[in-house]
Structure 1
């Protein structure tokens, strides 16, 4: 077996944690797969995997080889794609980075349909709320919410999400609807300390803009926790529309002052190469129309 094929088996064994699964995916027997990886280890002069009756574990050298092999296999897929032209089915690993909330609420519901349409793409959804080094971490595509600070990256603006004031029906009933908005909310806010807004809320209305320090008894660091607190009646939250659509549809949350909204959030697709690889383009083309953007 050539080295590239052996590396492909090795990568699949690491990803699945199983020789038998890697063998089945490749259409080989388990003994043949084991022999191929043992030959790869002999060829490279390093132990890559530690095998027990229960599991596989990757050695330090194996982790280095795994990371380099992923890049090599992706480059091989890109080479085949370039030679075949635009009509060939996209193939290979696609690593997409976005925030945990956006991955959960907007991306994950559509993954099954995408993979059914493009079964030869292996999707790695790298969800994190930290900024990533796209080149160092092998990211193909970033879906970024909010302002951009990346230099040297190609981007495409996909649209805008609004920030909405939401609360439980019980909390809404306790608010003084006749009071000015800032007075109505004072002391009843659930603040997301992890948001770019922090504790200072700016709200745009039909004929005015108000800005004030949001106050309340509860603060949380994650939007998902803020959403749960709002549903539990802890106060009024200011959250992106994509994070509350399901709860609004079910009645667990209701809009507060629906004529008002917070600063809009841009959604931008970013990639490091001059051209996004075809597997990334088909993913973006598939996903974009399905997103619940407020403006495109």
Structure 2
């Protein structure tokens, strides 16, 4: 087995692998599929990562078939590890370990961050054996209804759509609040590459940006996040505005489990829990000074 870069002509095969592998695990473990659409909908993962970082998609080929795939994303302050999938027929043959080992080599001295399911102990063990540790727990939530959103209980400041002029204030805010910097990601969101991104900023009463929140609305990934905010009231204002945007389905969003006031308000809106996820980090990590809402595409934490 050899780990090699993803070839452009393999995007459809990778999409099918991600769709089949992920759905099989969820159906076996949780009794439901996570991808309800076509395998080709999962093209959004290789297409997004290759757009951001060409050549950072890795595959393992075995017996003439794609046996595994993962994506890594070099950033200014760290490396993000994106979606990883192994074909069910090749499970427990060390493929995920090989892919992860290659990413660790590519990262060098930079910390590596990822978002992983708290339900998947095989995945958890893979990462912790490689030196990762869980540093934050999130509730995956959604509003399974078209009913109107209740009004915010309290708010100050204003929410509007992000523009290119907001890019570096947003980048600086994330670095100040959570210690990471990733200008390429934020530029990708604001420019709406692919036509399925929507990004909003929150300004305080003085006009300063104190929060931002992106979202993706695509059949392969319908999610609100990533975003960073000064506090839970800013987070609720941004999330409320994002939930009001017409979409093709019900998006999920990740909320830190320790944000009890925010979660109580989301329950009042009608939100329900779907799953739990960890942020796991290999290398230095500092707890954020504000509130972080991560995403799966591209990975953020």
Q: Which is richer in strand?
A: 2
Who wins on radius of gyration, i.e. which is larger?
Answer: 1
Provide the TM-score with structure 1 as the length reference: 0.23
